[in-house]
Amino acid sequence: MPGHPNQLFCTDPHKQAWHNRQTTRGRVLTPLQLAARITRDGSRGDTVTGTYARQASRRLLDRWAKEDREGGRMSAVAYVSLRKSKGFESL
């Protein structure tokens, strides 16, 4: 499977599936993470919402990591490591 030296995925459909999953997940996770961060994980301001946001985001992250493992997909850690090793910025 020769490809570009900076290629991250084996096929275009795998790349598209990865990005679609990350877009969908990000839309759910981003507001939870922001609420958790703004409330310092529920220790400042609206502590009930902040605590909920922290717990919900961690449950989602755990569930998605498990889904990726069970699906034989690249983990987020492997993805970030691969991007870093190829000189991409991850932010």
Is 51 part of a structural domain of the chain? yes
pLDDT of residue 70: 98
* Domains in the chain, number: 1
Does residue 13 surpass a pLDDT of 50? Answer: yes
**Averaged pLDDT, 17-41:** 97
60's enclosing H/E stretch is helix 47-70
How far apart (Å, rounded) are the C-alpha atoms in residues 84 and 91?
Answer: 11
Is 90 part of a structural domain of the chain? no
* Closest to 84 in 3D by CA, of 8, 28, 2, 3: 8
Is 3 part of a structural domain of the chain? no
Is 13 part of a structural domain of the chain? no
pTM of the model: 0.86
- Mean pLDDT rounded to a whole number for the chain: 93
Residue 71's domain comprises: 23-85
Is 2 part of a structural domain of the chain? no
**Averaged pLDDT, 9-24:** 95
How far apart (Å, rounded) are the C-alpha atoms in residues 13 and 71?
Answer: 15
Is 30 part of a structural domain of the chain? yes
